[in-house]
Amino acid sequence: MPPETVPLEDAIERIDSQIIAPLRQSGVIGGEYHIRMAGTADKLRATWDALRWNFILAVLITYLLMAALFESWLYPLVVILSVPLGAVGGFLGLWLLNVYLKVQMVFGMPPVPPQSLDVLTMLGFVILVGTVVNNAILIVHQSLNHMREDRMTPNASIQESVRTRIRPIFMTTTTTVLGLCPLVLFPGAGSELYRGLGAVVLGGLVVSTVFTLFLVPTLFSLTMDLKAAVARRLGLEVPTETTASAGAHEKIPETSRRGRTDPASTMSGNDETLAAHRAAMESEEDDEEAATAERHRSERD
């Protein structure tokens, strides 16, 4: 077993590069002789292979679920592109964690081995697949609602969805980050077990949240423009969500940016209805007066 300060992955890499590789190059092993690391090292490699396929399966399942939600195979591609941002944030969070552990030693705290990319830390990347896409789903789904229900243009609907969803996005991200901070920053018995997983999830959420607000709206706008251009090129009917225009507001009551009926348009519609009703009532009263006068005239005759 390696020392406590040396991760198992580093020990395996050192054995491969410093012992097994020179023996193979010198011809000592090979042919009839082979060396295979078993035990914990063998189980670790098998776990790494399994997690690799689990990550791919998580991405595939997430894509299929979003395809069912959006009823399209195109829009989920915009959302799934936020996963690489989460992976970059995960590696960044792991690096910052090791820097934090070194700083602790400067202030006289007991030495802590650096956090390596172990099995539990790798599991954090699998968790990120299902969490970093939430913010992108909010933006894309709200944009489609504005285009289909409020008849807004793609660019206007994207801007409005970002404006209305930025607050809940930051609220949920802040609560999650604050909940993970004790797991990552505070020392204690067993903290080294889940510290790497927490650092990966924390870093991935922060980085993906910041870049999602810029990358996803841009990619979604380009996707809508490309979809409309391809449809025109092939002579097909342009989808309704890409042909919505501001002129459509003249045919229906104006709606506010939150999807509610504009009070001005509602009041004007009510005034017209009341005026028509009043005119009808006055016409009926005139007819009744004329009929009464005619009746009195006939009785006198």
Q: What is the CATH number of the domain that holds 98?
A: 1.20.1640.10
Range of 118's domain? 49-250
Please determine, for residue 23, whether its predicted confidence score (pLDDT) is greater than 80.
no
Mean pLDDT, the chain, as a whole number?
76
- Any domain includes 145: yes
Asked if residue 287 is part of any domain, the answer here is no
Check residues 61 and 3 and name the one with the higher pLDDT.
Answer: 61
Within a domain: residue 177?
A: yes
62 vs 294 pLDDT, higher one: 62
Does a structural domain hold residue 93?
yes
Query: Would 281 be classed as within a structural domain?
Result: no
> E strands of the chain, at which residues?
none
**Within a domain: 5:** no
User: How large is the average pLDDT for residues 174-194?
Assistant: 80
CA atoms within 13 A on the CB side of 128: 33
Residue 119 pLDDT: 76
Q: Give the per-residue pLDDT at 45.
A: 67
Residue 28 lies in a domain: no
Residue 265, domain member (yes or no): no
The yes-or-no verdict on residue 276 having pLDDT over 80 is no
pLDDT above 60: residue 265: no
Looking at the 3D structure of the chain, how many domains does it have?
Answer: 1
